[in-house]
Structure formats: C-alpha cells, structure tokens
Structure 1
Amino acid sequence: MKRRIVVAGGAGFVGRQLVRKLLDRHLVCVVDALKFGNRFGESESTNIVLEKVDIRDWRSVSDVMERFRPEVIINLAAIHFIPECERDPVHAEEVNVLGTMNLVRACPAGARFVFASSGAVYHPDSAPHDEAISAVEPADVYGMTKLHAEHYVRYFAKQRGLQGAIVRLFNVVGPGETSPHILPEIVHQLKAGKTRIRLGNVWPQRDYIHVEDAAEGFRRVALYGDIPAGETKLVNLGTGKQYSVSMILDELRSLTALPIEVEHDASRARAVDRPFLQASIARIQADFGWSPRQNITTALADLWRNPDFAPSLVEQLRNR
C-alpha cells in the first residue's frame, strides 16, 4: 500500500539511505535544513518532495504537515555529534527536543510517529542494554536531549492518538557520513596516506551498525508491526555486538594490508566517553521482523571502498 511519508533529516547520513528504500513504493517528503546540502541524485530528487525547513520553526513544520498530510512521520533530524552537543547544549536542546516536539505536535491524527532516539540514553556502565531492564541515565548532553524528547513523543502520542515508536539507534557506520566520528576520522587519515594515525580514546566499545541495516530498521518500524493508537513502542536498533577502536583497527589492518600505528592525541579525546554501548535487539526482531544483515567487516569494507563523505565533513577532517 502506497503511503505518504515525511522523513525529517532525510538528507542526512541514515536519512538518505532510508529515503532511497521508500521511494519506489511510497510518496516521500524530505524535511531537512540541508546543513550538509542536497546529496540526492537528479533522478532521486525528481521523485522527492524536498522541503528546506528548520524543525525548530513551528510555523514551517505545521505548514508542511498541513500540505502533505503524511500517514507516517520519521524523525531522524538531530544534532548528534557529541562534541558539538557539549560545545553548544542550547542548540542541541532546541533541535533535538523542540524540533521533535514541533513534529509530533503537527502530526495528523492517527499517524505513526517514529522517533530516532539513541543508545546514549542508557547508563554508561551497563551492557548489553535491554529496553525493559537497563538503567536509563545519559552521560552527556546528547543523551539527555534524546531522553527528554522521548518523553514528549510518549506524551503527545497518548494525547493525540498517534502510533508512537521510539527507536534507540546505536553507532552507525558506512558510506555517507556527515559528522567527524572516529571511523570517518580513521579512514580519512588512511586515505590521505598516513599509516601512523592520531586518535583520542581507543578503549571504548561500541555497537556498530551498517547504515543500510539502520535504514532498513527504520523502514520496518515505520511500515510494519501493530502499534495501538495512543501507545508508544520502544526498540533498540543495533547488532548486539560491540567492538573497541583497537578491534576496529585490527579489522582495518586486515582489510587494507596497511601497517597502521596509533599515536594518542589528547586533543581528540572526548572529555565524556562511555566504556560500553551494546544493544539487546530481541524486541525489534520480535515486533518488527528486523535483524541485521551486515557485519562489521562488511561495514568497514563499504566505508573504505566508497566513503561518500559529505563535503563539509571532508573539509572538517582536512582542517583537524
């Protein structure tokens, strides 16, 4: 069944891949501030309703919703690079919380609202993280904004009879990155011919999910599964496995055959860095029939073969 779907943040890292998965069978409106530009191909752009909108602007958001009348809204729009959130917490709060509130308030009655939250809402020292039993205690501004926004999604879903879905996304990897996370940092330095690379912390362990798997997870939560009106389902979206940066470097040594060495750079180390982040994914498998299809080796190989970084990210990495 063809549906009318709004993807906020649809021009971003995960958003582009998700929109591509939806275009063939659905009517898609991308709502995006275009901070990283319009990176859709010409043939894709002709099949997308593209609205350049800052989701903090209630009037613009409500106008798009009234004109497009979506049946499904997927909110991927966020300030999600943790150092950026720490530098400007007010901006992060405005985009991640106020922006989400604007979108969910503007939803047509009966619509499904899918919110991209984060594994960063969990207590930093417990893993694997289970939606039902793991402690929720963010360790940084980003995690706090996501948890704050979750509360509004639940509140307005109940108040307005929406089908709510909160998807706690873990670390995404693959072609198309927009922010200077550690894996784009590593690949950029290696592609520049450096085998002695400068990094911050290499001990934290993360659950890395391929961008294609992440996009497919959001597609399934948006289109499948039963969510009663007024209720909100909560699921993790990851792989159920975690890797340290040191382990990632071992994978890259095998993949590239390069003699990679690491030089610790204190300026690149995060002041706030959790030791573990690993998803329990049984709930999304049971409720929405999704499971990861790619592993870390495939994700790194795809990233190495075709980084496809946003131009602004390439410029940031050059200047670091």
Structure 2
Amino acid sequence: MTTQTSGTARPRVMVTGGAGFVGRELVRTLRPHADVQVADLLRYGTPDWLQGDLDGFTFRRVDIRDVDDVRSAINEFAPDVIVHLAAIHYIPECDADPANAVTTNVTGTVNVLSSCPRGTRFVFASSGAVYKPDEEPHRELTSTVEPVDIYGLTKAHGEAYVHLIAADRDLSCAIVRLFNVIGPGETNPHLLPEVIAQLRKGPETIELGNTWPKRDYIDARDAAGGFAAAALGKNAEGVRVEIVNLGSGKQHSVDEILSTLRSTVGLTFEVRQDPKRVRAVDRPYLGADISRIKETFGWSPAHSLQDTLTRLWESPEFVPGLEDRLITRPGN
C-alpha cells in the first residue's frame, strides 16, 4: 500500500465514525501505515476495543452535527487525510427520522468538509443506494444517480457538496460508493445479523421479509481495505474528485445467502415470510461494477462469501443490546 505523503513522514488520518462496523476494521488496516485518530459520537456505546489503553491510535468524541466541535477536533489533530464514515446508515432509521438523517448525513458532511484545511485529502463514504434501480451492475460514470429512499438521497446530497467544496478548498477527494457490508461486529439490525440472531436461538424456522432481492455483499475487512486504498492513494492526474464503487462485484439473493449459510456451517432451517418485516420499498437488484476502484487505487476483494459467513456464524460480535433489537423489531 503506497501513500500520497512524500518522504518518510507517516500521514495523519482522521476516521469519522471510526468506532463503527467498517471503522473498526479500517483503523486496524491503517495503523501500520499512518497515525490514526478515531472521531466518533459513540451513539451505540463504547465498544470493547475503544476501552482502556488504545492500541496504536487516538480517540476523540465528536458530534459531526456541531460544526464548532468538528473544527476543534480537526484543528487539534491536523490530519492529512479524513475518511468520513460517520452517518446514519440504517434505512428504516432514516425513514423513521428523516430530519436527523439529513442533519447527520448532509449537514454533518458539510461541517467536516468546510473544516478541512486546504489541501486535505477527503474520502467520503457514499453508498450504492444513490443509484437508480437497474438490473445491470452499476457503473460510476454511466449509471443514473437517482436514489429511491431517504438514506440514498442524503448520500447523493453529500456527494454534491464534496464536488462543490473540493474546488473551493483545494481538496483532493474520493467518493466511495459502498455496497452491503457483512461480517462480525455489525452495529445496525441488518439482514445477516437478523438471520444469525434468530438461528442462535436454535429454531427450525426463521422469519424474514423479502428474500428475493439481490445485493452485492462485501466483507467488512475488504471494505476497510478499499477505504484505506482510497485514503492513502492518489487520484488520477488532473482529477480532483474520484468516484469509485466498493463491493465484491458479485450479487446474491437472500435465498442464495441462506443456502450458502446452510451448506457452509451445516445448518438446517426453513424460512417463513413475516409481513411485518417486508419493506414497503425494496430494490430488486443492487450490484457493483468494481473495475474502476481496481484501476484507480489497485484494490480488489480478498474474502469469499463462504469465508465471511463462517466467521460471522462463529463470532458475530453483537454490540450490547443489538441481539435483542434484532429479535423483536420488524423489518430487515
């Protein structure tokens, strides 16, 4: 992994939302190559790995909705690179409280961008949810950006501000459109934690919503590797804002995931559809073409679906309280 910083100095990298699902893996990936600070509100509580003596990085509690708090943190740490992961990612939560989703995902992004010193490298965690539904893998420069939910809309707005503020503040930026991340340590009640939580109770039948939609599922370690490559890499000559997809490049339906889980870890169970868990709006297909991130930053996924599901089953690492939320709440 090469860095954009000349000489022998290690780059200083701030990771907003660094206490989260992908953030934890990103910190582990970056530590050998950079001086890292985690900036996080800890809205899900303090994870074990952030308690006690910190191993090779620093931490500061930051609320990205508070511009003065953001400016103080950035001025104090003086990062060369900011990887902006902090956001409300869970779609039902965005739908239930759109005002907070906009304040966090849009205003929070503007607060971080506008606080960047001139020349900072800024990596924005966007989402495949910005794309208009399509049966073909989405491509960054040709697929239509037309989100169908509040979460995707906030990420599309965030992208627009990256383009506007990058030129004004002379920032080198990468917009990374992340697809569905899976693995141990999830902080939100998404599909795979829901499946694992139910199966840990030992039932012969589990209850889910729609099982036919296809998604691109990427291991959290691969997601971290992609963000690290964008953070420590360089844009193509003359490109101020790079846009890349970050996924596995493969699509699987929920039914296919469940079949793989059965065969990989030797489980036997049936699935029953629970109408309360069916989303009112559900994309039939969300897939990523990942050619561009390979060409631009030299990144490729390293972990198979079978490997990820085995690791998730053996050690799901639920955050405190998440398993109870998974079992009792409607919607996947």
In the alignment, the residues of structure 1 paired with residue 299 and residue 93 of structure 2 have an alpha-carbon distance, to the nearest angstrom, of 31
In the alignment, the residues of structure 2 paired with residue 218 and residue 244 of structure 1 have an alpha-carbon distance, to the nearest angstrom, of 25
Structure 2 match to 1:32: 40
Instruction: Tell whether the 8 Å contact from 1:56 to 1:99 is kept in structure 2 after alignment.
Output: yes
SS state of the match for residue 242, structure 2?
Answer: strand
Structure 2 match to 1:143: 152
Structure 2 match to 1:231: 240
Shift of 1:239: 1.2
Structure 1 match to 2:313: 304
Kindly provide the amino acid, as one letter, of the partner of residue 75 in structure 2: E
Shift of 1:108: 1.1
Moved more, 283-292 or 293-302: 293-302
Kindly provide the amino acid, as one letter, of the partner of residue 194 in structure 1: P
Structure 2 match to 1:266: 275
Kindly provide the amino acid, as one letter, of the partner of residue 131 in structure 1: E
Moved more, 248-257 or 167-176: 248-257
Instruction: Tell whether the 8 Å contact from 1:159 to 1:230 is kept in structure 2 after alignment.
Output: no
Q: 253, 256, 275: which one pairs with 2:262?
A: 253
Residues 211-243 of structure 1 show CA distances to partners (whole Å, capped at 9, x for unaligned) of 000000000000013356881000000011100
Q: CA RMSD in A?
A: 1.5
Instruction: Tell whether the 8 Å contact from 1:205 to 1:245 is kept in structure 2 after alignment.
Output: yes
In the alignment, the residues of structure 1 paired with residue 267 and residue 280 of structure 2 have an alpha-carbon distance, to the nearest angstrom, of 30
Instruction: Tell whether the 8 Å contact from 1:126 to 1:134 is kept in structure 2 after alignment.
Output: no
2:58 matched to 1:49?
A: yes
Q: 3, 13, 23: which one pairs with 1:5?
A: 13
In the alignment, the residues of structure 2 paired with residue 25 and residue 249 of structure 1 have an alpha-carbon distance, to the nearest angstrom, of 37
SS state of the match for residue 177, structure 2?
Answer: strand
2:299 matched to 1:282?
A: no
Kindly provide the amino acid, as one letter, of the partner of residue 112 in structure 1: R
In the alignment, the residues of structure 2 paired with residue 148 and residue 38 of structure 1 have an alpha-carbon distance, to the nearest angstrom, of 29
Query: Compared with structure 1, are the counterparts of its residues 102 and 41 closer, same or farther at alpha carbon in structure 2 (3 Å cutoff)?
Result: closer
Kindly provide the amino acid, as one letter, of the partner of residue 19 in structure 1: V
Structure 2 match to 1:153: 162
Instruction: Tell whether the 8 Å contact from 2:214 to 2:251 is kept in structure 1 after alignment.
Output: yes
Shift of 1:23: 1.8
In the alignment, the residues of structure 2 paired with residue 44 and residue 186 of structure 1 have an alpha-carbon distance, to the nearest angstrom, of 34
Structure 1 match to 2:67: 58
SS state of the match for residue 89, structure 2?
Answer: coil
Q: 89, 96, 101: which one pairs with 2:110?
A: 101
Aligned pairs for 1:121-270 within 5 A: 121-226=130-235, 231-270=240-279
SS state of the match for residue 176, structure 2?
Answer: strand
4+ runs of 1 displaced by more than 6 Å? none
Instruction: Tell whether the 8 Å contact from 1:157 to 1:230 is kept in structure 2 after alignment.
Output: no
Residues 282-312 of structure 1 show CA distances to partners (whole Å, capped at 9, x for unaligned) of 1000000000111211111111111012113
Residues 7-53 of structure 1 show CA distances to partners (whole Å, capped at 9, x for unaligned) of 00000000000011112332111111101222225576253221111
Which runs of 5 or more structure 1 residues have no equivalent in the other structure?
A: none
Kindly provide the amino acid, as one letter, of the partner of residue 40 in structure 2: D
Instruction: Tell whether the 8 Å contact from 2:235 to 2:241 is kept in structure 1 after alignment.
Output: no
Kindly provide the amino acid, as one letter, of the partner of residue 252 in structure 2: Y
In the alignment, the residues of structure 2 paired with residue 267 and residue 247 of structure 1 have an alpha-carbon distance, to the nearest angstrom, of 22
SS state of the match for residue 311, structure 1?
Answer: coil
In the alignment, the residues of structure 1 paired with residue 236 and residue 17 of structure 2 have an alpha-carbon distance, to the nearest angstrom, of 23
Q: Aligned pair count? A: 320
Structure 1 match to 2:322: 313
Structure 1 match to 2:84: 75
